[in-house]
Chain A
Amino acid sequence: MPYLYNTQEDQQAMLAAIGAGSIEELFDTIPAELRFTGELDIPPALSEMELDQHMRELASRNKSASSAVCFLGGGSYDHFVPAVVDVIGSRSEFYTSYTPYQAEASQGNLQVMFEYQSLITELTGMDVSNASLYDGASSAAEAVLMAIASTGRHGKVIVPESLHPEYRLTIETYLENLTTEVVTLKTPGGVIDPDTLAELLDDTVAAVVLQQPNFFGCVEDADAVSKLTKDAGALLIAAFDPISLGILKRPGDYGASIAVAEGHTLGTPMSYGGPYLGILACEKSLVRRMPGRIAGQTVDRRGNTCYVLTMQTREQHIRREKATSNVCTNQGLFALRATVYLAQLGPEGLRETASLCLQKTRYAAEQLCQQERFSLAFAEPTFKEFVIRDAENRVDELLKFALDKGYMAGVPLGRWYPELSDCFLVAVTEKRTKAEIDGLVDVLTHTALKKVQAAMSQIK
C-alpha cells in the first residue's frame, strides 16, 4: 500500500503493545450496525506511473492557456508567474507546514505573514491587512459583514451591476439568512452614475461595494462614489485589481474603509478558478472586526524580535459563536506566493506590468473596433479588459470560431447580463504579444468569418 510503512512484524508488535488481537478489534467501539461492510465503489489503485499517465490523459482532454491564446478575464487572468515564486512556493518547509500554532516552530511562516500584511498595506494604502482569506468574492462578503457590524446598520448594502456578478451572488448568499437587504444599483453606462447612487443612499445603508477597475474593465469615478458613500455615513468597500495599482490610485487614496481583492494575479496559477487568494485590508479602526489570521511583531523571552499570531480573541477557536468570522484554514501558501511576487516585481516592475496591460488592452480594443462589426459597449476608459459588442449578435458562433483557430477570445456576458448577450469581455495581460493580439483581431474580423459563413451556407 502506498504511504503505509509499518511491516507486518511492526503491526504485530504494535497490536501486542496495545493488547489487541487484530486491527479489526480496534474498531470494536463502532456499533456493529453502523459499520460499512461492503467495498467502496471506487476504481482500483493506480501505481505512480499509471496515475501519471492517467492524469496526462485527462489533461490532454483540456485546452488551456498553453494550447490556446488566452484573452479570458473576469476575475481570473493569465498573468506571468516568475520562476522565483514557484521555487519558493515549492519549499517543503513552507507548503507542508500548517497554521503557526507553535510560534517557535513557525517563524518562517509568521514573518512571511507579517511581510505579506506589510506589502498589502503598501499596495492598497490601507492601515492593516489580515493574513489572507479564501478568494475575492468571499472576501467581499466578509467585508460586507464587517461593515454591517461596525456601522450597526442592518438595513442595506449597495452593490452596483458593475461589480463582478459572482461577487454579487456571493454577497447575496452570505446575507440570505440575515436581515440586511442587497440593493443592486443599475449601471447601464458601464460605471456607477453618482446621481443614481445618491438616490439609493440613506442612513440604513451599511456599505457600498465598488469594483475598481470594474467587472467590465472600466475605471470608475472612485472619488465621487467615495464622497457620496461617506457623506451618507456608510463604508466604502473597494474591490481592486492588485496589478492595476501599479498605475491607478490605491483604495486608501480614495477613502475606502475596507479593500478586498482576488489576489491570484500575484503569482498563483489560474487552476480552473482556485485555490486563489482573498485579500482583505482595512482602516485601523476596524482591525478588531477583521476576519482571519493576523500576525504581529513582538519580542521573545530573550528580547529577540519575533512574530506571533495575534488578536486571536476575534477568532473562532477562542470566541466560538461570538467570533468575527468562522475562518480557520485560509490561503497561507498563496499569501507567500504574493509576497515573493511583489518582492520580485518591486515598484517599477509592478508599474511596468500594469502599463503593459493598459497599453496592450487599448491596442487590442482599437484594432477590434476598426471593424464595423465591433464596438466598445461602454465609452469609459478601461484598464486590462473591455466589453466588445457584436453588431451581428452572434457571440457564441464568433467565440467558437476563434477557439477552433486557437484563441480563447473572450467571456460571453449573456449568462449574467441578458441585455449584454451580444457582448463579450476581452482581457489582455502583459503576456499577450502584439502578434497574438493581431491574430485575435484577424480571426474575429469579418473577412475571416465571411469565408466560414460562406462555406457553411454552401453546406446548408
Chain B
Amino acid sequence: MRNTRDTNLLCELSKPGRRAARLPACDVPVQEIADLLPAEAVAPQPPALPELSEPQIIRHFVNLSTLNMSVDTHFYPLGSCTMKYNPKRNERAAAMTGIADLHPYQPEETLQGMLALLYEMQEYLQEISGLEACSLQPAAGAHGEYTALLVAAAYFRDMNQERTKVLVPDNAHGTNPASAAMAGFQSISVKTTSDGFVDMADLAAKLDDEVAVMMITNPSTLGLFEPHMREIADKVHAVGGLIYLDGANMNAILGISRPGDFGADMQHYNPHKTFSGPHGGGGPGAGPICVTKKLGPYLPAPIVREDGKRYFLDFDMPKSIGQVRSFFGNVGVLVRAYCYIRTHGPDGLRAVSENAVLNANYLLSRVKHILPVPQGNRCMHEFVASAATLKKEKGITAMDVAKRLLDYGFHAPTVYFPLTVPEAMMCEPTESESKETLDAFAEVLFRITEEDAQTLHDAPHTTAVSRPDEVRAARQPVLTWAALAD
C-alpha cells in the first residue's frame, strides 16, 4: 500500500529539536572552539539540515525505494546498459572486513591480499581483451574513454606527431564525442550505412595523418558485429592512427572475439555492465582500460606489479599521463567484477556471452513480428526495434510504448538511441533472464501495439506519477527545496 505521507520532502518532515544520531561524549579535555580556530573561520551555527527521527528516516527512504523499478524487482531490458542480475555473493565479498575498510594510503605490506586481487584483475582484463597493459584507475566508462584518449595524446606527443582529430561513428554513444572534445581533440563524425555499419567511403574520405584515434563500438550500438572491423583497423593504422574500442558491449563477445585480436589498440570495460556490478541508481561504475604494449608506459600511475615476492604499486612511470582521479580506482566495483570473473572461469564467461546472444536473438525473433527491426534478423546481445511504422499508422511513439510497458511491470528499453534509427527501442535482455520472462515481455509488447492510441498517450496509468512536464522542469528549474520557497 502506497504511503505518501512519509515520502514528503525531508525538509517538510523536519521538526526543530528532533534528532536521530547521538554522538558519544568527548573523552578528551574539551577546549573552547574560540581557542582552537580563528573566529573568522567559524560558522555561527551548523548548516540548516533537517531534524528527524530515525524511524522517520527509514520510512521515508524505504517508501521512496518502492517507487523505483530495479533489476531485483523487474525485467529491465535497458539497451546498452546490460542490466543483468547482480550476484549477492559479490555484495557480501565487497563488504568484508579487510576489503571495505582499507585506507588508500596503507603501506603495501598491509595490502598484499588486495593488491593480489587487483593484479589478477589487470591480468584477466588484458587476457579477455587480448591487449598487453591495463589501468584500473578510471571511475566510469566515459572516464575510461577520456583517459585512453589522453594516453593516445601523450603517445603522439612523445612520437612528435601532431594529431588533432578523433573519428566517431554517428551511432556512437554521446560520451565518445564528448570525451574527445574534453581531451582536446576535434571530434569528427563518420557516417554509418542503413545496415548500421561504418560507411567505408566516408571513413576513407575522413582519414588523414591528422587522425589520432578512431573510436568504435563493436558490437555496435545496434547490436551488430562490424563486418569491416579488420579493414577499418588496417586503414586507421595505415595513416598512423589508433583504434579505440568502446567496450560497452563486451557482454556479447567474452571469450568469443578479443578486441586486441580484431585491431583495437585501446579499450575500456564497464564492469558494472559486463561483470555484474550493480548500477546503483546511476553509479558507481568503473572504467578500467587495456592498451597495447607500446601505449602501456603512458597509462595513469600507479599500476600493480609483482616481483615474485610481493605485490607493489609502481609509480615509477615517467611517461605516464599522471592521474585522472584520486587514489587507486573504484576498487569496490572491481572487487565485485573480480568475484564475477572467478565465479565463471573461462567456460562460464563464454557461456555468459553465448546466452546473452541467444536471449537477444530469441527476443528479436519474437519482437520483429510486432515492431520492425530495421537492421535485420540476427543480432549480438541487443537489437534496436523501431516504432516508426506504429507512429505513422496510429500516432503511437516509442515513448508511448515505453511508458505503457511500465504499467505491465516491465522496465522500458532504451528509447530514441541510437539517433540513426527513428523511434528507436533498444532491447538488451541479458543472459540472466529466462525464456518465460522474454515470452511474457513479447506478449505484452504485442498487446500494447493492439491497444488504442489514447491509452498509450496517457500511459503509464499505474505508476505514482505519469508523464512529468519536462519542459517546465527545464524552463523554470526547481533544483533544491530552497527554490520552492522562492
Contact = CB atoms under 8 A, between A and B. Distances in A.
B290 interface: no
A135 B143 CA distance: 12
Contact of A62 (B64, B113, B347): B113
A104 B103 contact: no
Contacts of A170: 322-326
Given A61-B116, A72-B106, A98 B282 contact: yes
Interface string A82-110: 10100110111111111111111111110
Interface in B17-67: 18-24, 26-31, 33, 36-38, 40-43, 45-52, 54, 57-58, 60-62, 64-67
Contacts of A136: 326
Contacts of A55: 93, 96, 99, 339
Nearest to A433: B27
B453 interface: no
Residue picked from B229, B321, B348, most chain A C-beta under 10 Å = B348
A367 B433 CA distance: 60
A329 interface: yes
A88 to B, nearest CB: 4
B395 interface: no
A246 B46 contact: yes
Contacts of B179: 326
A26 B91 CA distance: 33
Contacts of A3: 84-85, 87, 276, 352, 431-432
A170 B414 CA distance: 33
A1 B103 CA distance: 35
Residue picked from B45, B150, B403, B473, most chain A C-beta under 10 Å = B473
A378 to B, nearest CB: 14
B290 to A, nearest CB: 14
Contact of B142 (A10, A46, A326, A356): A326
Contact of B480 (A121, A253, A437): A121
Given A45-B345, A121-B482, A310 B477 contact: yes
Contacts of A59: 96-99, 113
B180 A321 contact: yes
Contact of B434 (A10, A31, A433): A10
B175 A328 contact: yes
Contacts of B110: 62-64, 68, 403, 408
A19 interface: yes
Interface in B337-352: 339, 341-352
A272 B111 contact: yes
Contact of A345 (B49, B103, B326, B346): B49
B332 A271 contact: yes
Interface string B112-129: 111011000000100110
A99 B282 contact: yes
Contacts of A70: 103
Contacts of B31: 359, 362
Interface string B377-410: 1101000000000000000000000110010000
A117 B180 CA distance: 29
B352 A249 contact: no
Contacts of B365: 17-19
B282 A295 contact: no
Interface string A10-27: 110111011110010011
Given A273-B329, A351-B46, A104 B465 contact: yes
Interface stretch (B200-208, B234-242, B250-258): B250-258
B65 A316 contact: no
B432 A5 contact: yes
Interface in A300-318: 300-302, 304, 306-308, 310-313, 315-318
Interface string A130-174: 011011111000000100000000000000000010110110111
A25 to B, nearest CB: 9
A347 interface: yes
Contact of B279 (A87, A98, A437): A98
B103 A275 contact: no
A452 B266 CA distance: 51
B357 interface: yes
Contact of B283 (A23, A317, A331, A437): A331
Given A102-B406, A103-B465, A169-B323, A134 B38 contact: no
B330 interface: yes
A114 to B, nearest CB: 8
Residue picked from B98, B344, B364, most chain A C-beta under 10 Å = B98
Contacts of B117: 58
A108 B113 contact: no
Contact of B127 (A42, A329, A339): A42
A31 B344 contact: no
Interface string B257-292: 110011000000010100010111111111000000
B325 A176 contact: no
Contacts of B132: none
B37 A122 contact: no
B469 interface: yes
A44 interface: yes
Contacts of A237: none
Contacts of B481: 114-115, 118
Interface stretch (A33-41, A201-209, A369-377, A443-451): A33-41
B32 to A, nearest CB: 10
A440 interface: no
B452 interface: no
B102 interface: yes
Contacts of B470: 298, 308, 310
A397 interface: no
B358 A98 contact: no
Given A44-B346, A104-B406, A118-B482, A4 B183 contact: no
Residue picked from A29, A33, A58, A106, most chain B C-beta under 10 Å = A58
A408 B106 contact: yes
B312 interface: no
Interface in A273-299: 273-276, 287, 293-299
A236 interface: no
A111 B38 contact: no
Contact of A272 (B51, B104, B127): B104
A274 B342 contact: no
B474 interface: yes
Interface in B65-112: 65-74, 76, 78, 81, 83-87, 89, 91-107, 109-112
Nearest to B417: A317
Nearest to B284: A275
B234 to A, nearest CB: 12
Contacts of A221: 38, 40-41
A6 interface: yes
Contacts of B327: 75-76, 135, 166, 272-274, 276
A13 B281 contact: no
A15 B139 CA distance: 38
A457 interface: no
A354 B43 CA distance: 12
B1 interface: no
Contacts of A459: none
Interface in B112-162: 112-114, 116-117, 124, 127-128, 130, 139-143, 145-146, 150, 153-154
A133 to B, nearest CB: 9
A307 B154 CA distance: 42
Residue picked from A15, A26, A312, most chain B C-beta under 10 Å = A26
Interface in B452-477: 458, 460, 463-470, 472-474, 477
A363 B51 contact: no
26 contacts: A3-B432, A6-B359, A18-B364, A23-B355, A46-B342, A59-B96, A59-B98, A72-B106, A94-B281, A107-B68, A108-B67, A118-B9, A132-B283, A135-B139, A135-B327, A145-B182, A176-B322, A245-B47, A253-B43, A296-B477, A297-B478, A298-B478, A301-B466, A332-B283, A334-B280, A349-B20
Q: Please list the 5 inter-chain residue pairs (A to B) with the smallest Cβ-Cβ separation, ordered nearest first.
A: A273-B327, A59-B98, A61-B113, A332-B282, A273-B104
